[in-house]
Amino acid sequence: MNQKFKQLVKLFQSLPGVGPRQATRFVIALLERPEENLGELGESISNLKRDVGFCGECFNISDPSAQTGNSHCHICYDTKRDKGEIMVVEKVTDLESIEKTGLYKGLYHVLGGAINPLDKITPASLRMKELENRLDKLSINSKVELIIATNPNAPGETTALYLRDLFTNKKGVSITRLGRGLASGSNLEYADEITLKNALDYRK
Domain housing 103: 73-201
Measured CA angle at 137 (ends 85, 150), to 5 deg: 40
pLDDT, position 70: 54
8 shares its domain with 101:
no
Over residues 64-78, the pLDDT tens digits come to 655 444 578 999 999
Give the pTM. Answer: 0.79
* Residue 54 falls inside a structural domain: no
* Residue 62 falls inside a structural domain: no
CB atoms within 10 A of CB 71: 16
157 shares its domain with 88:
yes
Please state, in angstroms and rounded to a whole number, the distance separating the CA atoms of residues 56 and 63.
Answer: 11
* Residue 148 falls inside a structural domain: yes
Over residues 124-164, the pLDDT tens digits come to 999 999 999 999 999 888 999 999 999 888 999 999 999 99
**Which tops the pLDDT comparison, 9 or 180?**
9
* Residue 94 falls inside a structural domain: yes
25 shares its domain with 90:
no
Please spell the DSSP secondary structure of 22-67, one letter per residue. Answer: HHHHHHHHHHTS-HHHHHHHHHHHHTHHHH-EE-TTT--EE-TT-S
* Residue 97 falls inside a structural domain: yes
Give the total number of structural domains in the chain.
Answer: 2
Over residues 34-52, the pLDDT tens digits come to 888 888 888 998 988 888 8
* Residue 116 falls inside a structural domain: yes
8 A C-beta contact, residue 66 and residue 73: no
Over residues 84-124, the pLDDT tens digits come to 999 999 999 999 999 998 999 999 999 999 999 998 999 99
pLDDT, position 66: 53
pLDDT, position 68: 47
pLDDT, position 165: 95
> Which domain CATH number covers 22?
1.10.8.420
